[in-house]
Amino acid sequence: MKRGFLVLVLILLVLLIAYSIITDFPVFNRENGFAETGEVITGNATSAGISLTITISGPPTLTLLKSENETYFTATNLELNFTAFSADSIWYKIDSGSNVTITGNTTFNTTSGQHTLYLFANNSDGNSSKNVTFRVNTTKFNVLYDIYKNNGSSTDFNASSYEDIQNLSGAVIEKTGHGKVSFNQAINLTNDSNPGDNALDLDSYTNISQNHIEINTTAIPNFNKSATLSIYGLSFSDPRVLRDGSVCPSEICTEINYSGGTFMFNVTQFTAYSAEETPASQSPSGGGGGGTAGVSGFVVNPDEIQVILKQGGTKKATLKITNTGTRKLEIKLEEKKLGTFLKIGNTSFSLNSGETQEILLDFIAREDAIPGLYIGGITVKAGGAEKEIILALSIQSRESLFDVEVNIPSGYTTVIPGEDVLADVKIYNLGAIERVDAEVKYEIRDEENNSIKIISDTVAVETQASFTKTINIPESTALGTYVLYVTVTYGGKVAGAGVFFEVAEQGVSAREKVFIVVITLLAVISSIAVYLWVLHYRKEHRKYGETGYEDRRIDLRDVLIGQRE
């Protein structure tokens, strides 16, 4: 047996050596051409490098891509996009303003009216210039999209001209951590149900929240287009699409894929979409619990509402309650902590199975309201169950010099106690023409409006300051929903904005998982190895006739019969 094994190993070794000789030695390798014989070539082989330099002379070649000869409805952050070939320096000016040197695409601010943008470039051979005349009319149209502004890959609607938004392709609205809508057809943004108001209110008529994407197609029928929807943060193993709470038919919804808690699917038209676990066995009985609110019998959307108001301002929001159960429900809504800041349209009503009721919420900030963050909620009670909706109302000073935007990048909306929360902060200087030092305060508050952490900073802002702030969440922080509230104070005036994030328990890391698998395999392999070694050890000792290692075979029946006798 042993000899046979040795012979086999030797044969394999010889084959291996033979193979490596054939493949490595050129004399056996026909591809290298050495196997052919007959001609002898004599002489010296030399090589020479060729260097080719093409010099293009002349002034720089400039192409001005944006702005265009169109009308823009915002005066801030207008795009200046261009290409410049063989330019040593590039600069631009607006009308007869001062020159601004740039190195690449940039944005600029201007005022209402007609303007001419001049773009210059030079090199040692001369100058080039391009110019374009454009108009700014801030009253021509207004897109309200504070929820989506600088949020994920959302389209910056204000960067487009009035002409462009009438046939806008590839529009995206995304709320990081919740979901995304990528429209597959061009949209005329101006053609909503009330074109005369020169406004499009995406904040009020769209809703992307936890396991819920909805577009009010009555108010904005121009958004009733085919689109690709992504719902983030799902924990289902095999989700399916729900349309208005019922299973979406295949002619409307087409599933694309589900991976890492993100569910992607195509829809041909709009209403409210969500997802649920596909039942193991299909049951014809409708309704049931589950859904976004996680309360059996009814679903509330959204589960978080964030509103920014100036002193004296008002804003509307809607809350949708759907009866997903099979019996009629008496619904009661109770306001919590916001007092006179919130007016609920309807606090008591009944809902039949499958029915949905929209509740209008009016947020009101009086002229004398103290600027700051107010966290409250609405308790929805029905059928012995209740669900809390968190409301965060940020009130800004009426004449604040600044505007603030705060956004937590996707992937950072859930943090573990002891880790950092990352926030992208943008501060806009709306009034002063010079650089000013503003006091910036970052505050983390829980659902009960308790302050968990406060950090203060001073930031110099000329026209705009944009930065990422890292704030450590204390180890002792309880799990739940929190608001990161950023305020900018200057001259006694306060501007602020908040963003929700979750503090959640740490999951099992990939390292720990690998460790567990390795330990399991090691346990099995080492047990078998020890067993085989013991067998081998006993066999070896038997060979040498040592006592105590005899391979005795027993027939248990003999033993049992012996016992009986």
Partner 1 sequence: MALDYITIVISFGIFALYLVTILLSVNIRRKLTGETGKPFVYLIIAILIVSIRRIQQIYVTSEIWHPIPYSTEIIAVGFAFFLFLAVLNFHRLLKT
- Single out the residue of 150, 524, 533, 546 in contact with partner 1 (rule: CB under 8 A): 524
Binding residue for partner 1, selected from 57, 433, 557, 562, defined by CB under 8 A: 557
CB 411, min distance to partner 1, A = 19
Shorter beta-carbon distance to partner 1: residue 15 or 560: 560
For the beta carbon of residue 323, count every other beta carbon within 10 angstroms. 24
What beta strand segments (E) does 283-419 contain?
A: 298-301, 304-310, 314-323, 329-336, 342-344, 348-351, 356-364, 372-382, 385-396, 402-407, 414-415
Confirm or reject binding of residue 475 to partner 1 (CB under 8 A): no
Q: State which amino acid sits at residue 129.
A: S
Cβ distance to partner 1 smaller for residue 172 or 504: 504
Dist. CA 347–CA 321, nearest whole Å: 12
- The span of 132-140, 288-296, 368-376, 511-519 binding partner 1 (CB under 8 A) equals 511-519
Which among 393, 388, 363, 387 has a CA at the least distance from the CA of 375?
393
Closest CB to partner 1 among 105 and 520? 520
Tokens encoding 545: 């006739």
Q: Which of 24, 36, 368, 555 binds partner 1 (CB under 8 A)?
A: 555
* Full DSSP string of 446-463: ETT--EEEEEEEEEEESS
Name which position in 237, 250, 476, 547 contacts partner 1 (CB under 8 A).
237
- Residue 556 within binding range of partner 1, rule CB under 8 A: yes
User: Binding marks (x or -) toward partner 1, 280..299, rule CB under 8 A?
Assistant: x-------------------
The two three-digit tokens of residue 368, written as one number? 């004398």
Q: Of 246 and 520, which has the nearer Cβ to partner 1?
A: 520
From the list 213-221, 241-249, 477-485, 527-535, the region that binds partner 1 by CB under 8 A is 527-535
Which H or E element spans position 136? strand 126-136
Q: Are 483 and 375 in contact (CB under 8 A)?
A: yes
* 548 lines the binding site for partner 1 (CB under 8 A): no
Binding segment for partner 1 (CB under 8 A), chosen from 365-373, 449-457, 474-482, 517-525, is 517-525
- Among residues 34, 516, 533, 536, the one that binds partner 1 under rule CB under 8 A: 516
From 53-61, 315-323, 329-337, 518-526, give the range in contact with partner 1 by CB under 8 A. 518-526
The distance in angstroms from the start CA to the end CA of the chain is 45
Nearest residue (CB) to partner 1, 24 versus 555: 555
Q: Does 543 bind partner 1 (CB under 8 A)?
A: no
- For the chain, state the CA radius of gyration: 35
- The residue from 2, 3, 543, 552 that contacts partner 1 (CB under 8 A) is 552
In contact, 337 and 450? CB cutoff 8 Å = no
DSSP letter for each residue of 460-485? EESSEEEEEEEEEPPTTPPSEEEEEE
Hunting for tokens 């009130």 — which residue is that? 395
- Identify the three-state secondary structure at position 491: coil
Site for partner 1 (CB under 8 A): which residue of 277, 437, 512, 546? 512
Single residue of 19, 25, 28, 531 touching partner 1 by CB under 8 A: 531
Piece of the chain touching partner 1 by CB under 8 A; list 60-68, 100-108, 355-363, 513-521: 513-521
Distance from C-alpha of 123 to C-alpha of 89, rounded to nearest angstrom: 7
Q: Which of 16, 18, 360, 517 binds partner 1 (CB under 8 A)?
A: 517
Contact pattern for partner 1 over residues 244 through 283, marking x by CB under 8 A = ------------------------------------x---
Closest CB 506 distance from partner 1, rounded Å: 5
Shortest Å, Cβ 263 to partner 1: 16
Residues 6+ apart with CB under 8 A from 198: 139, 140, 141, 142, 190
Asked if 352 contacts 323 with a C-beta cutoff of 8 angstroms, the reply is: yes
Q: For partner 1, which is the closer residue by CB, 54 or 508?
A: 508
Question: E-strand spans in 226-297?
Answer: 227-231, 239-243, 246-247, 253-259, 262-267, 272-277
Decide: is 56 part of the binding site for partner 1 (CB under 8 A).
Answer: no
In terms of Cα–Cα distance, which of 437, 347, 433, 331 is closest to 387?
331
506 binds partner 1 (CB under 8 A): yes
> Structure tokens of 58?
């002349």
Under the binding rule (CB under 8 A), the answer on residue 46 touching partner 1 is no
Which two structure tokens, joined as six digits, stand for 369? 């309201």
Stretch that binds partner 1, among 217-225, 390-398, 485-493, 552-560 (CB under 8 A): 552-560
Cβ 331 to partner 1, closest distance in Å?
33
Give the residue with the Cβ less far from partner 1, 50 or 508: 508
Distance CA 407, CA 424 (A): 5
* Distance of closest approach, residue 204 Cβ to partner 1, in angstroms: 38
Number of residues that bind partner 1 (CB under 8 A): 27
C-alpha to C-alpha distance for 225 and 231, rounded to whole angstroms: 18
Ramachandran class of 260: left when φ > 0, alpha when ψ lies in -120 to 50, beta otherwise: left
Cα-to-chain-centroid distance, residue 381 = 32
- Please pick, from the candidates 23, 548, 554, 562, the single residue that binds partner 1 as defined by CB under 8 A: 554
Asked whether position 448 contacts partner 1 by CB under 8 A, the answer is: no
- Stretch (H or E) spanning 201: strand 199-201
Smaller CB distance to partner 1: residue 7 or 535?
535
Taking CB under 8 A as the binding criterion, the range among 120-128, 208-216, 261-269, 556-564 that sits at the site for partner 1 is 556-564
Contact set with partner 1 (CB under 8 A): 237, 280, 505-509, 512-513, 516-517, 519-520, 523-524, 527-528, 530-531, 551-557, 560
